[in-house]
Structures are given as C-alpha cells and as structure tokens.
C-alpha cells in the first residue's frame, strides 16, 4: 500500500508529461505536413540557405 502512494502519482505524472508533449506538438504545427516532414530529412540544403 505504501509503495502505491508514490508509484501511482509517478505513473500519472509521466503519462501527463506524454500527453502535454503531444498537445504541445499539435499546437506548434508539427502535425500539419506529415508527408513533407518525412521527405525533408532526406534533403541536403546548401549552407547558404538556413532552414
């Protein structure tokens, strides 16, 4: 029983961390172009073009 006192809050905290991470990613527009993001990692930009 005593272990539950810190294990349950710890589990919930980690879960909430994941949830808030997802909501942040959503609101910062990271889900707006999933296809594009997958392709962009393959692009070598010239050094002059900063991106």
| Footprint on residues 1-51 left by another protein (CB under 8 A) | 1, 4, 8, 11-12, 15-16, 18-19, 22-23, 26-27, 31-36, 39-40, 42-43, 45-46, 49, 51
What DSSP assignment string belongs to 1-36? Answer: -HHHHHHHHHHHHHHHHHHHHHHHHHHTTTTS-HHH
CB 51 within 8 A of CB 45: yes
Site for another protein, rule CB under 8 A: 1, 4, 8, 11-12, 15-16, 18-19, 22-23, 26-27, 31-36, 39-40, 42-43, 45-46, 49, 51
């Amino acid at each position: 029983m005593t272990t539950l006192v810190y294990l349950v809050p710890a589990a919930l905290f980690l879960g909430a961390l994941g949830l808030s991470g997802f909501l942040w990613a959503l609101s910062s527009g990271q889900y707006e172009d999933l296809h594009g993001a997958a392709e962009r990692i393959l692009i070598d930009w010239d050094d002059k073009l900063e991106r």
